[in-house]
Structure 1
Amino acid sequence: MAEYNYSAMLVGRIQEQAILAEKLSSGEAELIAIYGRRRVGKTFLIRTYFKDKIAFELTGVHEAAFRHQLLNFGFALQSAMKAKLPVATPENWIQAFQMLSQFLNELPVKKPAVIFFDEFPWLHTQKSGFLQAFEHWWNSYASKKTNIKVVICGSAASWMIDHVINNKGGLHNRVTQKIRLLPFSLSETMTYLSTRGIKLNHYLTLQLYMAIGGIPQYLKGIHKGESVAQAIDRLCFTKDGMLKGEFKNLYQSLFKNSHHHEHIIRALAKKGKGLTRNEIITECNLSSGGTATKILKELEESGFISSYIPFNKTEKESLFKLTDEYSLFYLKYIEHAKSSGAGTWLQQSTTSSYSTWSGLAFESICQKHVLQIKKALGIEKVLTNVSSWRHSPSGGVKGTQIDLLIDRQDKVINLCEVKFCQTEFTIDKKYAEELTNKVLIFKSANKIRSSIFPTMITTYGVKNNDYYRNIVQSQIIMDDLFR
């Protein structure tokens, strides 16, 4: 693999930086589409990595009229040209792109020039013709310029996929690279906080991540010298806290008719183990299965929910789970908080609901860190299929749920039990019987021939007693998720 220069200002994003470096030096015109949920760091990545390579930058204005978008284009072109006098506002997007071409013709052809369109979907206002004009400009001009690197970003992930990546018109198969930017991992979160002078151990970083996730803009709100409880109190439980009212803004800024999306998010928040598509349709009183499919796709592509195909099931039987940490935390604690200010979160963390929430949040985080779990098990190079499994009560057999299954090519299945604890977890007689029965039910229901390795994933490990030694084959601790 080629050596790349990585930006010292960027935390993580190693794979993305390598891709951008390769495209920058490709010697060909490039059309790069970057998408990901709001505040995940798309704009920061492009501005920081490309720095002075950006020749022109235009950011769409949310819900602005066609004329205002064109006026904004004129200001952006004036800035790019470093002109003292205002640039004439174009009459339409065809004229706007012609003006952009004239500007780019004056640039040195031997130096890469990055053209950055941020919040690209917002530029395509109704009947504006923006996307058609962009398609024409790319095909007739930009694609022929080997020094031009066009980067388009959008938080409306489903729009980007439908209208750009899977475009059936003038942009069909024109995108040369797509990048879906995900939130920070636990390790990247800890590194990011450290670069800001915030030193938290693994347990405190995990607690913070469970509440607000690995969203850079949210993490930026943490202050040096604050405990996690203090930070959560200030951000989530004060009148002007950054995350106090973020929930509504989050969905309204990304989706039309966002109340449908919120309805599904709320339904999934109540069902931590997930819902099938048909269960969602019923739970949310959706009149059309097609509507449900479209909304679920939009939510999943934007990173708010995840779908999992249960063990030995088909894609049609997929389970959908809410995997956005902030949304779950907001609906569980922030929305109907009866108290506010200092001490609010510490008070909440002593309630019975805390155990349920923390368990679900930790389980979701483990599912996002399967690569780290596989490395800890020493099977990162073994082909695996990751799923979950649930069994409804029938024929006198109890219902059961398996949090995480790692079905391995080497004829072993790691049956993972995820437990969030503030201390070492102890397997007692009752839990040992539950775990043993769970293994038996799973093997019987699925006619398993592979060996089953019961695997514990906990924060501080499992006490080494007789029950542990007789049942558990492997264990993963919180520290492993940070590697």
Structure 2
Amino acid sequence: MLIVFNKFVNRENELQHLNSAYLSDRSEFIVIFGRRRIGKTELLRRFIKEKRAVYFLADERGDSANLSEFRTLVADRLGNEILGQSTIDWLDTLKEAANTEERLVIAIDEYPFLINGNKAIPSIFQKAWDLYLKDSNVMLILCGSSISMMERHVLGSKSPLYGRRTGQIKVEPLKFKLTGAFFPEFKVEELVKIYAITDGVPYYLKEAEHRIKKINQLEMLYSIESLLLEEAEVLLKSEFREPAKYFSILTAIAFGNTKFGDIVNYTGLSSSIVSQYVSNLSVLNIVEARYPVTEKTHRSRNARYYITDNYFTFWFRFIYPNKSLIYGDFKIPQFNPDFNRYLGVVFEKIAAEFLWQARPIEFTKIGRWWHKKEEIDLIALNDATKEVLFIECKWRTLSTAESLRNLEKLKKKADFVKWNKGERVEYYGLVARKVEGKESLREKGFVVFDLDDF
């Protein structure tokens, strides 16, 4: 089901999770987290609509101002004038809220700002939960954008609140297939180009919707008028005190240096520094280590590192090295051919998502594979049935003859894959921008898709 109202798109699972908690017969403590601009606030607002709720958006004014506003909101919802005129602290305000007989939602957005103003906040909320809220009719929601703060002060084992949450929701980017909800008039090929810049971040998709009416206006997305020009820098500086080394590592990865040694060589940083900084980026889900999909045991020497977000990848590949040119109103050199090559990488991600939906075989895992100099774009496999589908991805138009040549090369590369060799059932296929003679290839037993199938 697709929810499209004022461009609130497809958060049905998250809403269902929240509504189930709301209807439970116990107190609930839900943690919602995810990167900025992902749609957490809109999710909260949709959830509490027509419910008895207190929605409080914390800010950086400081503890006294935040407490005063929160206390006023609670008093208004409870109809308690005395509470509204009082000067009681956080603990006693939450105690008053816990006295409610009817179901009451208390949703605190940007919770990390409360901690910035008062380091005792996690302990205060832990005490409030243990003494008053856990046996009440309150549904407490703590929501935050600072992943590091939420990990450290709410989700982490050293947090006073650890072990008390009854549920959590990580709000993820939208899938590629939902991009069309923002651009119903655009062709699939054009949607790929937009997704390569915005990823599935709703706020960025809305920015794109506002800025471009035709695909030849793509550069408007990173013009000096667009929030996307500075957004990555703002986000990273909010997480890291000294971002320079992080920027260097992310630039290396964005330019295709995905092996650990290649990152070290590109940045000129020591192995120990790169290791620590990559670890920090992984905790925040900005960078992830990937391994050949057939590996059951992950060996660090086989790891390759990727930026998880298309927007960050695009920003470090195209914007960050060219900011002076962009501010000077100059074109990015060689943008079109470089962007087209970059689309090939993005297309692999989209192809994997599509295959999960299309299910040409009943696979349980899908991903890249590599061994020494050999690489296969996607392998979909099923450990139980020993079925495996080898896929080549091509961001271009393939003639029937080119497709057959690519499939022959794919068969040769598949011979290097040791997974269940001699016992497995093999299938071969292509996912391309356009495949000519697609039906004739399917008749030969190949799995073939192009954008027309999307």
Per the alignment, residue 227 of structure 2 pairs with: 242
Within 2, Cα distance between the matches of 1:57 and 1:29?
Answer: 17
Within 1, Cα distance between the matches of 2:444 and 2:120?
Answer: 64
Residue aligned with 2:116, SS: coil
Given candidates 233, 253, 257, the residue that maps to 1:268 is: 253
Q: In the alignment, residue 369 of structure 2 is paired with which amino acid? A: W
Structure 1 unaligned residues grouped into runs of 5+? 393-398
Mark the CA change 1:54 to 1:479 in structure 2 (over 3 Å): closer, same or farther: farther
Is 2:282 aligned against 1:306?
Answer: no
State the Cα distance separating 1:289 from its structure 2 match: 7.5
Contact 2:122–2:160, Cα closer than 8 Å, also in 1: no
What are the Cα deviations for residues 5-59 of structure 1, in whole angstroms up to 9, with x where unaligned? Answer: 9895632112111111101110211011111111000111011121243633333
Is 2:32 aligned against 1:34?
Answer: yes
Residue aligned with 1:253, SS: helix
Mark the CA change 1:225 to 1:60 in structure 2 (over 3 Å): closer, same or farther: closer
Per the alignment, residue 114 of structure 2 pairs with: 123
Within 2, Cα distance between the matches of 1:80 and 1:401?
Answer: 58
Is 2:454 aligned against 1:474?
Answer: no
TM-score, normalised to structure 1, is: 0.79
Q: In the alignment, residue 371 of structure 2 is paired with which amino acid? A: H
Contact 2:94–2:128, Cα closer than 8 Å, also in 1: no
Per the alignment, residue 315 of structure 2 pairs with: 330
Per the alignment, residue 358 of structure 1 pairs with: 343
Mark the CA change 1:376 to 1:432 in structure 2 (over 3 Å): closer, same or farther: closer
Contact 1:412–1:451, Cα closer than 8 Å, also in 2: yes
Structure 2 unaligned residues grouped into runs of 5+? none
Mark the CA change 1:442 to 1:165 in structure 2 (over 3 Å): closer, same or farther: same
Residue aligned with 1:125, SS: helix
Percent identity of equivalent pairs: 24
Contact 2:2–2:9, Cα closer than 8 Å, also in 1: no
Contact 1:373–1:480, Cα closer than 8 Å, also in 2: no
Mark the CA change 1:452 to 1:341 in structure 2 (over 3 Å): closer, same or farther: farther
Q: In the alignment, residue 388 of structure 1 is paired with which amino acid? A: R
Per the alignment, residue 396 of structure 1 pairs with: none
Mark the CA change 1:427 to 1:299 in structure 2 (over 3 Å): closer, same or farther: farther
Within 2, Cα distance between the matches of 1:216 and 1:70?
Answer: 33
Contact 1:388–1:404, Cα closer than 8 Å, also in 2: yes
Give runs of aligned pairs for residues 105-116 of structure 1, distance below 5 A: 105=99, 107=100, 109-110=101-102, 112-116=103-107
State the Cα distance separating 1:132 from its structure 2 match: 0.8
Given candidates 385, 388, 391, the residue that maps to 1:410 is: 385
Is 2:5 aligned against 1:14?
Answer: no
Per the alignment, residue 395 of structure 1 pairs with: none
Mark the CA change 1:432 to 1:55 in structure 2 (over 3 Å): closer, same or farther: closer
Give runs of aligned pairs for residues 68-467 of structure 1, distance below 5 A: 68-82=62-76, 95-103=89-97, 105=99, 107=100, 109-110=101-102, 112-125=103-116, 128-145=119-136, 147-168=137-158, 170-191=160-181, 193=182, 199-221=185-207, 222-223=209-210, 226-230=213-217, 232-237=218-223, 239-271=224-256, 274-276=258-260, 280=263, 284-287=269-272, 291-292=276-277, 294-300=279-285, 304-310=286-292, 311-312=294-295, 314-317=297-300, 318-335=303-320, 336=322, 338=325, 350-351=336-337, 353-367=338-352, 369=353, 372-379=354-361, 382=362, 384-392=364-372, 399-408=373-382, 409-421=384-396, 423-424=397-398, 427-428=401-402, 431=406, 434-442=409-417, 447=421, 449-464=423-438
Q: In the alignment, residue 147 of structure 2 is paired with which amino acid? A: A
Paired residues, number: 439
Within 2, Cα distance between the matches of 1:233 and 1:463?
Answer: 34
Within 2, Cα distance between the matches of 1:464 and 1:7?
Answer: 34
Within 2, Cα distance between the matches of 1:215 and 1:75?
Answer: 30
Residue aligned with 2:284, SS: helix
State the Cα distance separating 1:459 from its structure 2 match: 2.4
Give runs of aligned pairs for residues 28-67 of structure 1, distance below 5 A: 28-53=26-51, 55-61=53-59, 64=60
Residue aligned with 2:299, SS: helix
Within 1, Cα distance between the matches of 2:176 and 2:86?
Answer: 48
Two-structure CA RMSD over aligned residues (Å) = 3.5
Within 2, Cα distance between the matches of 1:228 and 1:86?
Answer: 53
Within 2, Cα distance between the matches of 1:79 and 1:319?
Answer: 49
What are the Cα deviations for residues 65-85 of structure 1, in whole angstroms up to 9, with x where unaligned? Answer: 7xx133122123324434799
Within 2, Cα distance between the matches of 1:342 and 1:255?
Answer: 30
Within 1, Cα distance between the matches of 2:406 and 2:165?
Answer: 52
